[in-house]
Structure formats: C-alpha cells, structure tokens
Amino acid sequence: MAKEHDNIYKTINQLLLRSNIESKPLAAFYIQFPRGRDVYIILPHFREQVRKLEYNNNRIFVLDYFLLEKDVTEAQLWEHVAAQFLFPHKIITGDKIITDKKKQYLRKIILETLKILVEEHKIAALNLRIKPEYFLFEKLRRLSGVSPLIRREISQFTQYSEDILTLFQDNIHDFTEAAEELVSEGILTHYQGLFAVTEKAYNEMTSKTVLLDINKIERMIKNIFTDRSSLGASLKLFLENVENVPQVYLMSHIPKIPDSQDFLYLSTGIGLQRLNEQYDIIDFAKKFYEEAKFEVKKIGKTLNSTYHLIIRRDRDDVLEFFVKKYLNWTDVKWVVARIWTLGIRNFSMLASSRMANEIYFVNFLREVGFNSPEIVHVNWRGYTLYQEYVHGRTLFDLWIAKHETRWDYAYKVGRLLAEVHSSGIVLGDCKPENFLIEENSGRIYVIDLEQASKKGDKAWDLTELLFYPGHYLDSRTAAEIAGRIASGYASTGDIEQLKKALSPKYLRVLAPWTPVWVQKAISDEIKTLLKS
C-alpha cells in the first residue's frame, strides 16, 4: 500500500506540473469509487482556490488549504469537500493535516446532530441512547437530501455492497473516537456501551439554540455578500461536477444507506427500544406478545386519550399496560389551563413536549428512588406512551369514598411532595388524582408527569394540591385534609413554600373551582399549623 501511495504521490506532482501548478501538496487523500478515484490535493495559497483535473478515470480536485478549513468549520463549499471524510478514504500525504481536519469535522457533526436531537425530542433527549453509527448515517442522510453530488457519491459507493456497515467500519470507528473525546469534555456520557447526552450539555444547548441558529444564518448571509471569492469557488466546484450527475440523482433518488434511526434507542422496562419502532396499541400487543389474547379498554375522562391494555397469555399469566396518547396543542383542556394561569404557570401544550417531559421525569423519579409506572414502549411519531399498569386508587378516590386511610395518605402525600421537591423536581400538575396508592403494597406512585420541570414553582404545586380538593369537599373536610397534607410537607420540606402557597395570586387561579369560603377555611387551617 505504501508503494502504491508513493506512485500516486509522484503522479500527482507530475500532473500539477503539467497543469502549471508549481506548489507542492500539503496533503492529499483519495476515495476509491467503482468508476475510479476521486483525489483531493490540498495546496497552500492556491489562487484559483479550486480546480478540477482529469487523469484516466480519476477526478483530481486541487483545493486551497484555507478553503478546506472553511468548508470544515463553516460549510463554505456547502460541505462538498468536508463530506468526503464520511467515506472510506486513504491518505496519500499530510497525515496530520487530514486527520486534524477530519476530527474537527466529525466533532462539528456530532455537536450539530445532538442539537437537532435536543430540539426534536426536548428533555427526553436525555433518555436517548446513541450508537456512533447514528452520527454518520444521519449526516449522510441530511446531506443526500440537499446535494445531488453527495447523493450520487453515496449511491455509487454503496450500490455494489451488501454489507454497508462493514464498508463504513473505519468511519464508524472515527466517529466512536470523536464521541469519546466529547465524553472527556462532559458533553456525552457512556450508557451500556452506547452514548448519551449529559444534562450539562443539554442545558447549554437549550439555552443557546436560538442564538446559534441566528448566528449561523448571519454568517451565511455575510459570506454570500462579502466573500465573493469563496462563493465563486463553491459555485465552480458545483458546476464542474453537476454536468456529470445523471438526472436520477438530481431528482429524489434515495441512496442505499442504513436508516440512522436504527442506531437511536430509548431505555424502557423491556430493554433498549429502537426509536423507529412505532407501534399502535394492537401492533404493540401482536409484536411483543404474538399469539396472546388482548383487550383494550378506554379509560379516563373525555379529554384524556388513555387506555387499559390487557394481554392474556394464559389464565394465570396476565400482563397489563397503561397507554396514553397525547393530544395536540388544540386540546381544550390545556388551552383553557394556559389562558387561566397566565403569569402563574406556563403549561406545556404541544403533544411532543408533554410526552418528552413525561418520559424524562418518569425515568428520573425512578432513578432517584420514587415510584412511577415503568415505561415499556414509546411511539414517538404517534405521541403514545406505554407504561406498566398499577392497580390502586388515587388520593382523590380515597377522599371521595371517605376511606379510613385518607387522613394517613394525605400526610404521606404531603411528605412525598416535599421529597420530590427536594430532588429538584416540580410536578406542575399536582392534583390529588396524580398520586396513586397501589392496592396491595400501599406504595404511592407519582403519575401524569407531562407538566413536570426542574425550574417550576414549588408553591404552585402546593397550592393546587391543598386547595383544588375544595372543589369536591365541604369546607371543614377540605381544611382538615389540607392540614394533613401541609403537616406532611412541613415534616421534611421548606416551610417558606407553604407560606408562599397561600398567596392571593395563586388562590385567584383556583377561584372558579374552589369557592372563596372554602379557600379561607383551608388557609386558616394552614396558618394555624405554621404558627404552631
């Protein structure tokens, strides 16, 4: 191989001299396509910036070093040169230059891809598990969608191969190394042999996403109108190649590459699930439980798309799941909630955001020791979440039924809420219906976490839990139960949050549900507790 590269290097220098190009290459590499080689020669201070040469069945691209650098960092050539690092390639000379630029480009790809994942999957991106193959094939997919040149190169490179993963194994290894470097920087972390976004990186990405997008647009506009030489090089490279691109690649030809979603996973109760596995309720039952009999029952109130899935493998082997389909932003329930609580509580309305919240916070609460029904499957595009079904009654059910344990569980739920708050989580939708007492063990499960957050108002959680029951109960009972909740919260929580929960700005929000005289009875009960 070394001898072959020496011969290629000599041929390159002879070709440059015949073309009246006197500079010696800083670096050079090539890609072997079935039709021949594409050779990229990097020169210092090349005035023409880009020139295409022909040699036998090979295409030779002579490129200025700084133009390569700009294509790697700013997509100056719309990544038509930088993207060659995504194909199996051989370095002829200038190993350090090519290796450094490739590392720089792969790092950029991973960071951009992570930002897109965060944008698309919101906080649930923290629960995604990523194989390095995802970064490679997702980038190739996106490039092929906008560039007929890249589309042609992918197709020509893969059309004769049955094992594309083996074909790209060196590139996958390069992405693995690039991801490992981001692990050392605290941007990625390891998870069961895969990679995951760290919370630190997620917070930075969500706080800077808009600014980064604006800056990128501004740079592109500036380049178009101020850096005419580079724009000319980009157009020149494109025009010199597009004449050789068959019409099929200029249209909607889809190259044969693996689906990037095959390398993106979500951790569930039945193992890692590929994110592109999207099953409705019936398909889910058939996929995972084949010949078993199943039954689907609609449950919940009119505005909730929730179901009870029962799978019977035999008389003594019954599995049960709670299935929740998130309604979109036109859901009347959340429109009304957002308008009425304006200035107090910012409810998430988009189905994707609410499902992302629930996925993340269910997993988070379980990881730190709280009970929440385990997630077993996610249909991301269908906005449908599958969880284990927990038999029991909610705190609300106990109150309405006047169950003898209602006082005890009111105290326990108050204490539990204080512990959840201490873990840094605010529930956002903290009604008594969202605390489920398991019928056999008596364990309390926190459910319906689609409005949960890490930056919410703890006092609002308390206000809702303390005062909302006044809509159903008489003033005396509501006050006594609120007192038990407050006692539980005060036993381990922040007393200042209890005081804040009595603020008129919160109570006015609940006025349509909880009458003023009931609110006063509850407030008096809690004030008495705070004085003791």
Enclosing domain of residue 469: 390-531
Contact 382, 280 (CB under 8 A): yes
Residue 210: predicted pLDDT: 45
Q: Mark which of 214, 234, 265 sits at the end of a domain.
A: 265
Residue 233: predicted pLDDT: 63
Residue 46: predicted pLDDT: 87
Evaluate whether residue 352 is within a structural domain.
Answer: no
Alpha helices of 380-457 — where are they, by DSSP H? 395-400, 406-422
Does position 184 have pLDDT exceeding 80, yes or no? yes
Residue 289 pairs in a beta bridge with: none
Count: domains in the chain: 2
Evaluate whether residue 504 is within a structural domain.
Answer: yes
**pLDDT tens digits, one per residue of 185-242:** 999 999 988 999 999 999 999 886 444 444 554 455 445 445 555 556 665 665 565 4
**pLDDT tens digits, one per residue of 395-411:** 999 999 999 999 999 99
Residue 389: predicted pLDDT: 96
Evaluate whether residue 471 is within a structural domain.
Answer: yes
**pLDDT tens digits, one per residue of 137-167:** 999 988 887 777 788 888 877 776 778 888 8
Contact 325, 305 (CB under 8 A): yes
Evaluate whether residue 343 is within a structural domain.
Answer: no
Evaluate whether residue 17 is within a structural domain.
Answer: yes
Q: Mark which of 265, 298, 325 sits at the end of a domain.
A: 265
Evaluate whether residue 331 is within a structural domain.
Answer: no
Does position 5 have pLDDT exceeding 80, yes or no? no
Average of per-residue pLDDT across 30-50: 87
| Choice between 372 and 333, residue whose per-residue pLDDT is larger | 372
Q: Tell me the C-alpha distance between 325 and 379, whole Å.
A: 9
Q: Tell me the C-alpha distance between 498 and 514, whole Å.
A: 18
Does position 1 have pLDDT exceeding 70, yes or no? no
Question: Would you call 202 exposed, middle or buried from its count of C-beta atoms within 10 A (0-12, 13-18, 19+)?
Answer: buried
**pLDDT tens digits, one per residue of 70-121:** 999 988 888 889 999 999 999 999 999 999 999 999 999 999 999 999 988 8
**pLDDT tens digits, one per residue of 301-343:** 545 589 999 998 877 788 999 999 987 655 444 444 544 444 4
Average of per-residue pLDDT across 292-297: 87
Residue 422 maps to which CATH number?
1.10.510.10
Nearest in space to 387 (alpha carbons), one of 429, 448, 441, 432: 448
Evaluate whether residue 132 is within a structural domain.
Answer: yes
Residue 342: predicted pLDDT: 43
Report the phi/psi class of residue 402: left, alpha or beta, with left for phi > 0 and alpha for psi in -120 to 50. left
Radius of gyration of the chain (CA): 30
Q: In Å, what is the CA distance from 438 to each residue of 25, 329, 359, 369, 392?
A: 72, 32, 21, 16, 4
Q: Tell me the C-alpha distance between 23 and 16, whole Å.
A: 8
Residue 145: predicted pLDDT: 79
Q: Tell me the C-alpha distance between 353 and 323, whole Å.
A: 17
Q: Tell me the C-alpha distance between 372 and 358, whole Å.
A: 10
What is the amino acid identity at position 164?
A: I
Does position 528 have pLDDT exceeding 50, yes or no? yes
Nearest in space to 499 (alpha carbons), one of 518, 509, 485, 486: 486
Residue 231: predicted pLDDT: 56
252 shares its domain with 395: no
Residue 63 pairs in a beta bridge with: 42, 50
Q: Mark which of 221, 242, 265 sits at the end of a domain.
A: 265
Q: Give the range among 96-110, 279-293, 463-477, 512-526 with minimum mean pLDDT.
A: 279-293
Evaluate whether residue 129 is within a structural domain.
Answer: yes
Please tell me the pTM assigned to this model: 0.80
Q: Tell me the C-alpha distance between 109 and 140, whole Å.
A: 10
Does position 392 have pLDDT exceeding 90, yes or no? yes
Residue 234: predicted pLDDT: 61
Average of per-residue pLDDT across 284-292: 82
**pLDDT tens digits, one per residue of 431-476:** 999 999 999 999 999 999 998 998 889 999 999 999 988 888 889 9
pLDDT, mean over the chain: 84
